[in-house]
């Protein structure tokens, strides 16, 4: 008999995600408070604060449920993003963890990647739906405080639905009516049918627009979501929708509109390390400490750091390194694995960009990303002068002795995209994201041991719907993967 997806939660006991069970609150705050009851969670600002802290921590943890065991390449948000980073041309995975993602073969319905990339976002969404309901229904918290927390929860919910849209669909412009992951707005014991991609994007934008309109500039620290982080989330959504003016507007909210003020100078910029949340360019982070560490799970650090890493399996494409000018400070992070290796060896170049330790912090968003979103969005609106100004201001923070350029046409556009790759390689899969949304494809070159060509809208850009979802949702059957 066909079973139902279960999205029913009882705070303080368990929260059930799509077809799965997981603990609702695991160490909800930095204090030793333990789990909260449903009453305690929402009856006060302190309880709501602790509950949100638990949700934020859930992004960094080693996620598992009753049927899905935690795995080094499928632990939290970082695992989802790093899996994208290794699918392109810039990063090389030399065996070990994330190798199947690197091979662009990790997409079948029963594979761990497919299951994780579906169930983990839905686990977050289920928790956030419970949170939204709890905050909306509480009678003992002021409306202004409720709005403050609802803006954060809706930002996160929109963000995780966007991850589902990215993983299981092609670009919105390819087919707005394409079937997309189901939309849940409340905790329910019954599954729902697949949605339409255009409807999913509508829901995502509504959540994020609420978060930006009602969000606060203030937050506890940069692991929390505020108005600027929500705007950064929304700028990427609008970029995917090709809503260029809105993308630029949101990106400028994210970095507060002043490129040089928001970024380090060319002398204060540190191209090596990327493990310190106090960096002024870090907008949203996954923090670690000695007593709250993700140990050897944390990506990209545990994989890209070839000095102190446990795995030593992340390398950099020779052709990509050659795109960095001599006066580009980011080039300082590249190093030879060994002076005896030929340039054709996949291990030829390593990067010191990420320094691994049990207390390394990881960035989810850094402000340069949104600076370059604004540059691209200005370009698409025909504002070439503005696009050049933003790009030049950015490059002056990375290149010593930089002299402004005046680019135009596809040369300007390609330069913006290249700067995105140079700035964000290894972090969040920006190369994959740009190729997918622009329907461009990716061609591997250089010293990759696996040379592949992803054509525009190649099915390897998307994952198939997990078999466990098909088995447990009465509204979804095997035909959902036809043509995928």
Q: Is residue 285 part of a domain?
A: no
CA distances to 26, 213, 373, 435, 457 from 380, rounded to whole Å, are 44, 25, 11, 16, 21
Q: Is residue 85 part of a domain?
A: yes
Say if residue 172 is in the same domain as residue 230: yes
The answer to whether residues 293 and 358 touch, using CB atoms and an 8 Å cutoff, is: yes
Confidence of residue 27 (pLDDT cuts 50, 70, 90): very low
Q: Is residue 79 part of a domain?
A: yes
Output the pLDDT for position 67. Answer: 83
248-252, 281-285, 286-290, 429-433: segment of lowest average pLDDT: 286-290
d(CA 410, CA 423): 20
Confidence of residue 33 (pLDDT cuts 50, 70, 90): very low
Q: Is residue 283 part of a domain?
A: no
Is the pLDDT confidence value at 144 over 90?
yes
Say if residue 349 is in the same domain as residue 368: no
- pTM of the complete model beyond 0.75: yes
Say if residue 348 is in the same domain as residue 378: no
Burial (Cβ within 10 Å: 0-12, 13-18, ≥19) of residue 306: buried
User: Which of 315, 338, 361 delimits the end of a domain?
Assistant: 361
Is the pLDDT confidence value at 310 over 80?
no
d(CA 399, CA 5): 52
Confidence of residue 35 (pLDDT cuts 50, 70, 90): low
Q: Is residue 4 part of a domain?
A: no
| Residues in a beta bridge with 328 | 399
- CATH code of 67's domain: 1.25.40.390
Q: Is residue 280 part of a domain?
A: no
Say if residue 463 is in the same domain as residue 341: no
To the nearest whole percent, how much of the chain has pLDDT over 70?
92
Is the pLDDT confidence value at 234 over 90?
yes
More confident: 168 or 62: 168
Sign of the CA dihedral running 239, 243, 248, 249? negative
Q: Is residue 201 part of a domain?
A: yes
Phi, psi of 56 (to 5 degrees): -65, -40
Say if residue 264 is in the same domain as residue 300: no
d(CA 159, CA 435): 20
- The residue behind tokens 């100004």 is 389
Say if residue 349 is in the same domain as residue 241: no
Say if residue 337 is in the same domain as residue 375: no
Q: Give me the mean pLDDT over the 428-455 stretch.
A: 98
pLDDT tens digits, one per residue of 312-342:
899 999 999 999 999 999 999 999 999 999 9
Is the pLDDT confidence value at 1 over 80?
no
Is the pLDDT confidence value at 30 over 50?
no
Q: Is 270 left (phi over 0), alpha (psi -120 to 50) or beta?
A: beta
For the chain, what is the mean pLDDT? 92
pLDDT tens digits, one per residue of 74-104:
989 999 999 999 999 999 999 999 999 999 9
Q: How many domains does the chain have?
A: 2
Is the pLDDT confidence value at 3 over 80?
no
More confident: 183 or 24: 183
Output the pLDDT for position 31. Answer: 31
Say if residue 35 is in the same domain as residue 76: yes
Say if residue 419 is in the same domain as residue 310: no
Say if residue 421 is in the same domain as residue 370: yes
Output the pLDDT for position 37. Answer: 65
User: Which of 361, 376, 396 delimits the end of a domain?
Assistant: 361
Sign of the CA dihedral running 457, 242, 236, 279? positive
Output the pLDDT for position 39. Answer: 67
Output the pLDDT for position 22. Answer: 33
Phi, psi of 71 (to 5 degrees): -135, 155
Is the pLDDT confidence value at 147 over 90?
yes
Structural domain harbouring 324? 295-361
Confidence of residue 38 (pLDDT cuts 50, 70, 90): low
Q: Is residue 122 part of a domain?
A: yes
pLDDT tens digits, one per residue of 456-481:
999 999 999 999 999 999 999 999 99
User: Which of 316, 345, 361 delimits the end of a domain?
Assistant: 361
Output the pLDDT for position 230. Answer: 98
Say if residue 326 is in the same domain as residue 248: no
Say if residue 442 is in the same domain as residue 317: no
The answer to whether residues 87 and 104 touch, using CB atoms and an 8 Å cutoff, is: yes
Is the pLDDT confidence value at 210 over 70?
yes
Confidence of residue 70 (pLDDT cuts 50, 70, 90): confident
- Find all residues with CB under 8 Å of 8, minimum gap 6, and list them: 16, 187, 188, 189
Output the pLDDT for position 120. Answer: 96
Is the pLDDT confidence value at 105 over 50?
yes
| Residues in a beta bridge with 286 | 362
**What distance lies between CA 211 and its chain's CA centroid?**
18
d(CA 351, CA 335): 6
pLDDT tens digits, one per residue of 349-399:
999 999 999 999 999 999 999 999 999 999 999 999 999 999 999 999 999
């Amino acid at each position: 008999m066909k079973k139902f997806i279960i999205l029913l939660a009882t705070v303080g006991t368990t929260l059930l995600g799509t077809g799965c069970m997981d603990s609702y609150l695991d160490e909800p705050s930095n204090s030793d408070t333990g789990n909260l009851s449903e009453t305690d969670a929402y009856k006060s600002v302190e309880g709501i604060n602790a509950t949100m802290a638990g949700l934020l921590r859930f992004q960094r943890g080693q996620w598992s449920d009753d049927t899905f065991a935690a795995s080094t390449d499928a632990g939290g948000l970082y695992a989802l993003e790093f899996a994208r980073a290794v699918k392109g041309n810039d990063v090389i995975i030399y065996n070990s963890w994330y190798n199947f993602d690197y091979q662009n073969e990790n997409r079948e319905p029963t594979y761990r990647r497919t299951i994780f990339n579906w169930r983990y976002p839905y686990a977050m969404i289920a928790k956030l739906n419970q949170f939204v309901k709890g905050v909306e229904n509480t009678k003992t918290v002021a409306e202004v405080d409720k709005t403050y927390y609802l803006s954060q929860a809706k930002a996160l919910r929109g963000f995780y639905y966007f991850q589902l849209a990215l993983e299981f669909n092609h670009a919105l412009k390819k087919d707005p009516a394409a079937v997309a992951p189901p939309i849940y707005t409340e905790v329910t014991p019954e599954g729902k049918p697949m949605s339409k991609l255009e409807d999913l994007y509508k829901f995502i934008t509504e959540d994020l627009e609420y978060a930006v309109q009602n969000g606060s500039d203030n937050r506890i620290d940069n692991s929390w979501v505020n108005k600027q982080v929500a705007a950064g989330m929304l700028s990427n959504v609008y970029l995917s929708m090709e809503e260029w003016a809105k993308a630029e507007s949101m990106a400028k909210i994210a970095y507060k509109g002043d490129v040089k003020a928001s970024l380090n100078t060319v002398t204060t910029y540190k191209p090596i390390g990327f493990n310190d949340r106090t960096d002024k360019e870090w907008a949203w982070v996954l923090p670690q400490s000695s007593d709250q560490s993700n140990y050897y799970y944390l990506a990209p650090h545990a994989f890209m750091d070839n000095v102190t890493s446990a795995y030593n399996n992340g390398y950099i494409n020779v052709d990509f390194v050659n795109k960095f000018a001599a006066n580009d400070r980011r080039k300082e992070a590249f190093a030879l694995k060994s002076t005896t290796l030929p340039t054709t060896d996949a291990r030829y170049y390593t990067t010191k960009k990420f320094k691994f330790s049990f207390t390394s912090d990881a960035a989810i968003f850094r402000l340069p990303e949104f600076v370059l979103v604004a540059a691209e969005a200005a370009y698409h609106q025909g504002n070439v002068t503005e696009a050049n100004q933003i790009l030049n201001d950015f490059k002056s923070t990375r290149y010593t002795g930089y002299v402004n350029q005046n680019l135009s046409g596809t040369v300007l556009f390609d330069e913006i995209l290249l700067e995105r790759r140079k700035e964000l390689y290894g972090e969040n899969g920006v190369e994959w994201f740009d190729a997918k949304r622009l329907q461009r494809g990716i061609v591997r070159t250089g010293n990759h041991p696996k040379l592949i060509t992803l054509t525009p809208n190649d099915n390897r850009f998307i994952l198939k719907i997990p078999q466990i979802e098909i088995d447990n949702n009465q509204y979804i059957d095997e035909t959902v993967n036809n043509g995928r």
